[in-house]
Structure 1
């Protein structure tokens, strides 16, 4: 029974939706059309004298037609009831009005009703029982017909003149039995199988639509996540750029103010550093904003069909993103008369830093930049040392920044700098350590992540993608 239940979809976790008002109106119109066709077929057969021997009159014949056609209007709202009623109707009509039941339009109508019940039944166990009832009625009807007409004798008498002796593979009774078996098997089996195929097709369509909705929903979530991630990236970039340059400008301005009277050259140098740092900050922010606006849609283009190419002014001011090769320049621009900054790049092999992916180089540069900015803002340090280690054998890039100062009185950070470092490191699959130095005065920041810059989530996604492809 489990195979039969499975074939009927008894245990399916899907239920076909009820018909819409439009579909119900279509069924009513379909019933009216069916009534016209069945009545036309009935009258055509009557004109040929097919109903001369039928004991009941045309009133009972049309009552049978109307009652059968009426089931069409309920084929999708009450499919199980329609299936059982069509089987019962066919049996009763075959017993009382055999010629009416055997006309081609009526046979097509019964076929369509059984098909509709299989295709639209929402309770698959109930339709399984209804089909069993229909089949039992048909078997009982045929058996009763043989018994009531004395079976074999009646068939022999009927075919005695045309078939006086066996001329084929079967005798007359056996041939008649095989013909009836094939006819009813094709009739009922075809209606049941085609109806089940229609139900499975509807279920498959619903599953595809559900998957499409799921994909659309997931795409929307991924798009939202991408927007949030991009906002965080932009926030980190702006924070790092602004914080670093403003901190350097503040330190240089303070140094220039202190030595303005006694050392004008040192004051001029400090003011030049302020000017240079301000230009760099404005330039980097322009580059960042230019990148964001490079693919804007042309507002003059109706419908947004074309893309506005980057303007000449934007392209002219845009420079490549900082890399590890720019760390030396960062150290020079960050040094002040009161705080010396040094950055050292350590490579496991010659040219290793240049082989690091650009996004990873940019993250390492921004981390060093932010660590130096934090020292300028919050520390009394006179010396800041940054070391960037590129180890291709260990597949790791490490950034370490230490200073020799203490916390400056009256300063307190917002925590956004360290948070940005952690976000960068976690995004690339690494980690952050930050805190007071052990055994020495000052603060230490250590950040590490793999050279390829892929986090655990990326690795799992790539692994899963590879498994799907190989499978």
Structure 2
């Protein structure tokens, strides 16, 4: 039997592996099986009463025998998916025993036939031990074949069906051959159909499990990519903040050193104080670089190499005209509008806030180029003061539609939100009515923001 199973799987590669076990149904599914079996039994009893009303009394089975046969064949279906092989054996035994008794007509009823069909089908599609299934199913099929052959050739079944009383049959095949052949084909369709449909259902269940596994793997990989992108963006922000902080603290150190050298009044005390300022500034630079080194190590190979140029000047809002020119060269015309509560306020922002606002504008305009049909966008820059203090805002809008097959990873939008959160800001990103897209980010301008690391 093992060789036969291996042969079937070699010839039918679409079937699941022989060692695959279908997951057991949940408790809700088992409860549905119980209610379905009880409903089928009730329907079968009604059908049996109708058939008894159409049968002569001398040929009809007793009420008790009919109920016993139907119960023996249908009630095992209550547990057909929990113990499929055992329930198939019980149904087969009930079918064969009742077929040799006075209640054999009950097995001919459509509900009894359906119950046995479901038993065979469930065994093939839900059995977890496939080798045991094929071994026991082979025994059942062999027993059924022997029983049918013996019944055909040793009983008066043909006479009871009045087959021999056909004086002038319409077909060309003799009646004594046609009836056994007809019975054989009906049983072949019955048993073969239940096994075939069971294999199809079993294969579909395996395919569904593969799809679920692959979907889960894709979801896990997507989450890993998203986490990786967030880490890269945070590390990039940390590196940029480091450059800004290092620049200003280094300037403080240089100024303190110069003051120490030129101080005339109380030179010893002044020298001591200035030296302390100088040491503190240099210590801050060293600690900031150490912190950045830890962040880079935690990112591993996910963080691009900066090439050792940690003091390269970072862009700011003063470089905004260059950014607009670059977008124009790539086919996106940008209309700029400024509404400042104080003239020149956007150009005098702290370095950290200015850098974050510049990066947000660049990423939002890049999204328009990549994912929208629009060839023109509007960049609105605003500033103001409310009860929480000064703020700056960038709003990028367009009137295009989404390009087909241009869905991105969403990492750019994550970067915008990360930068806004870094400066206690808020972000609004979404479609416009009736069409177009809007990206709006408002950042808080806090005193000393350029030297403050926000977790």
Q: TM-score range by the shorter chain?
A: 0.5 to 0.7
Hey, what does 2:224 align to over in structure 1?
Answer: 221
Match status 1:149 vs 2:155:
yes
Among 115, 125, 147, the alignment partner of 1:119 is 125
Match status 1:312 vs 2:382:
yes
Hey, what does 1:375 align to over in structure 2?
Answer: none
After superposition, give the CA deviation of every residue in 1:373-418 in whole Å (9 maximum; x if it has no partner): xxxxxxxxxxxxxxxxxxxxxxxxxxxxxxxxxxxxxxxxxxxxxx
Among 32, 48, 52, the alignment partner of 1:46 is 52
Cα offset for 1:161? 3.3
Match status 1:289 vs 2:295:
no
| Contact 2:37-2:78 within 8 A present in 1 as well | yes
- Which aligned pairs between 1:177-256 and structure 2 lie closer than 5 A? 177-251=180-254, 254-255=257-258
After superposition, give the CA deviation of every residue in 1:351-371 in whole Å (9 maximum; x if it has no partner): xxxxxxxxxxxxxxxxxxxxx
After superposition, give the CA deviation of every residue in 1:152-175 in whole Å (9 maximum; x if it has no partner): xx569933432446x534221222
Residue ranges of structure 1 left out of the alignment (5+ in a row): 262-276, 297-308, 317-471
| Contact 1:30-1:73 within 8 A present in 2 as well | yes
Question: C-alpha root-mean-square deviation of aligned residues, in Å?
Answer: 3.6
CA distance in structure 2 between the partners assigned to 1:36 and 1:78 by the alignment: 23
Residue ranges of structure 2 left out of the alignment (5+ in a row): 265-312, 319-347, 365-378, 384-391, 395-455
Hey, what does 1:62 align to over in structure 2?
Answer: 67
Say if 1:197 and 1:168 are closer, same or farther in 2 by CA, change over 3 A: same
TM-score with structure 1 setting the length: 0.54
Say if 1:157 and 1:18 are closer, same or farther in 2 by CA, change over 3 A: closer
Say if 1:51 and 1:174 are closer, same or farther in 2 by CA, change over 3 A: farther
Larger radius of gyration between Structure 1 and Structure 2: 1
Hey, what does 1:83 align to over in structure 2?
Answer: 88
- Could you say what secondary structure the match of 2:162 adopts? helix
Per chain length, whose mean CA-contact separation is higher, i.e. which structure has more relative contact order (CA < 8 Å, sep 6+)?
2
Match status 1:104 vs 2:110:
yes
- Which aligned pairs between 1:365-444 and structure 2 lie closer than 5 A? none
Say if 1:12 and 1:251 are closer, same or farther in 2 by CA, change over 3 A: farther
Say if 1:131 and 1:240 are closer, same or farther in 2 by CA, change over 3 A: same
- Could you say what secondary structure the match of 1:52 adopts? helix
CA distance in structure 2 between the partners assigned to 1:155 and 1:293 by the alignment: 92
Cα offset for 1:103? 1.2
- Could you say what secondary structure the match of 2:100 adopts? helix
| Contact 2:9-2:18 within 8 A present in 1 as well | no
CA distance in structure 2 between the partners assigned to 1:31 and 1:157 by the alignment: 32
| Contact 1:88-1:137 within 8 A present in 2 as well | no
Hey, what does 1:364 align to over in structure 2?
Answer: none
After superposition, give the CA deviation of every residue in 1:226-274 in whole Å (9 maximum; x if it has no partner): 211111111111112221343245335534664688xxxxxxxxxxxxx
| Contact 1:155-1:172 within 8 A present in 2 as well | no
TM-score with structure 2 setting the length: 0.55
Hey, what does 2:141 align to over in structure 1?
Answer: 135
CA distance in structure 2 between the partners assigned to 1:140 and 1:98 by the alignment: 17
After superposition, give the CA deviation of every residue in 1:74-118 in whole Å (9 maximum; x if it has no partner): 111101111222222222222212211111121112112211222
